[in-house]
C-alpha cells in the first residue's frame, strides 16, 4: 500500500506547471480588470486626512508657482474656485515634463487636470504629482 507521501510527490516539473498556470491566470486577470480601475475625481475642498495615500484627480487653475531652494522641485498652488491645494512636483516629474518641451512656468494661470497622491505636510493637505503625464492643460 502506498503512503500519502508517495501519492502526492511534487516534482520540479509539477511545481513549474502550477507556477505557470497561476501566473497566466494573474496576467489575464490584470488585463481584464485594469481598464476598470479609475482614479477618483474630487473637488479640492473634499480632500481630507482620510484620503492620505489615495490617488485622486482634480481640476483647477494654477495660481502660483514656486521653486524649491535646491531648484529641483516645484510647488504649485491649484485653485478650483472654492478651495486651493499645494501640488508638489519632484525632480523626476519635472524632467518628464521638460522632456516634452514644456516649462513648468507655462502652467501659471492655466486650467489644468492633475492626478496626484494625497499627502499631509505641516497639518496641510497636499498633492504629489503621480507622473509627468499627470499634469495637463485642459483650457
**Residue 128 pLDDT exceeds 90:** yes
Q: Which residue has the higher pLDDT, 4 or 128?
A: 128
Say what the pTM is: 0.71
| DSSP letters for 31-84 | HHHGGG--PEE--GGG--GGGTT-EEEEEEEEEEEEE-TTSS-EEEEEE-SS-E
**In this model, does residue 1 exceed pLDDT 90?**
no
Residue pLDDT, tens place only, 38-93: 788 999 999 999 999 999 999 999 999 999 988 889 999 999 999 999 999 999 99
Rounded Cα distance between 94 and 102, Å, is 9
pLDDT of residue 83: 95
Amino acid at each position: 500500500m502506498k503512503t500519502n507521501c508517495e501519492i502526492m510527490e511534487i516534482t520540479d516539473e509539477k511545481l513549474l506547471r502550477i507556477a505557470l498556470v497561476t501566473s497566466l491566470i494573474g496576467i489575464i486577470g490584470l488585463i481584464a480588470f485594469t481598464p476598470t480601475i479609475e482614479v477618483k475625481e474630487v473637488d479640492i475642498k473634499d480632500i481630507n486626512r482620510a484620503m492620505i495615500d489615495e490617488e485622486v484627480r482634480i481640476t483647477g487653475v494654477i495660481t502660483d508657482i514656486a521653486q524649491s531652494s535646491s531648484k529641483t522641485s516645484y510647488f504649485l498652488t491649484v485653485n478650483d474656485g472654492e478651495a486651493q491645494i499645494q501640488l508638489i512636483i519632484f525632480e523626476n516629474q519635472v524632467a518628464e515634463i521638460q522632456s516634452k518641451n514644456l516649462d513648468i512656468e507655462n502652467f501659471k494661470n492655466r486650467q489644468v487636470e492633475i492626478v496626484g497622491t494625497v499627502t499631509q505636510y505641516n497639518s496641510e493637505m497636499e498633492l504629489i504629482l503621480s507622473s509627468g503625464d499627470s499634469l495637463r492643460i485642459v483650457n
